[in-house]
Amino acid sequence: MSNQRDVVVIGTSFGGISAIGKLAASWPQSLRVAILVAFDTSAQPPSTVLEILQSYAPFQMRYAYDFEEIRPGRIYLGPPDQHIVVAEPGIVRLVAGSVLDPSCPSADRLFSSAARVFGPRVIGVLLTGSTRDGTRGMEAIERAGGIGIVQDPSNALDPTMPLAAIRGDHPDYCVRVDEMAALIEQLASGLVPLGR
């Protein structure tokens, strides 16, 4: 049975610019999926982060705005100090963060909301990061019939985030970041590659 998947959600923190850059550099331009990214960039100027990431991106990347419709062929980056979440019928909502949030934007919030709205259409990706953010969200994606991918911890600048998901969730795939684009392309086409 073929399961087409057209929504990719990505969570990362420390080392994320390098990881997203490597992933984007190998991303096929013909792959028409919507990509939403929760990346805590509070330590760096937002315009600089966007400029660097956009230089790698295969199609339009920008900070998301509230009530924006989610469309294929776009990359939506969560603004600093705001959670990026998905709401019915497939729109971006931005929720103000607080000093109590361990991560903002939060991968857990993004992943869980995408799973509620898009179910099995979602591919969740956890990259390098210094927190445990994303583990609960990855579980939600897989419970909804989606696919979970983590960066191989030995390939991550900080393995904390992918290791937390592996220990708490057993994601479907654990691969190097330079192998992810090809895997996502297969999954988006409805294939289920070996290794699951």
Q: How many domains does the chain have?
A: 1
Residue 2 lies in a domain: no
Residue 9 lies in a domain: no
Region 82-99: mean pLDDT is: 92
What CA–CA distances, in Å, run from 37 to 20, 161, 192? 10, 15, 23
Residue 130 lies in a domain: yes
> How many CB atoms lie under 10 A from the CB of residue 145?
14
**76 close to 57: Cβ distance less than 8 angstroms:** no
Residue 125 lies in a domain: yes
Residue 3 lies in a domain: no
Region 40-68: mean pLDDT is: 85
What's the pTM? 0.94
CATH number, position 120: 3.40.50.180
Tell me the residue type at 118. F
**157 close to 18: Cβ distance less than 8 angstroms:** yes
Structural domain including 44 reads 16-188
> How many CB atoms lie under 10 A from the CB of residue 195?
9
Q: Please, what is the average pLDDT of the chain? A: 90
Taking 80 as the threshold, does the pLDDT of residue 192 lie above it? no
- Among 124, 164, 114, CA closest to 147: 124
pLDDT band at 48 (very low <50, low <70, confident <90, very high): confident
Region 119-134: mean pLDDT is: 95
DSSP-derived pairing of the beta strands 74-77 and 91-96:
unpaired
Q: How would you label 82-115 residue by residue, b for 16+ Cβ within 10 Å and e otherwise? A: bbbbbeeeeebbbbebeeebebbbbbbbbbbbbb
Per-residue model confidence (pLDDT) at position 1: 41
Residue 196 lies in a domain: no
Residue 6 lies in a domain: no
Residue 5 lies in a domain: no
Taking 70 as the threshold, does the pLDDT of residue 196 lie above it? no
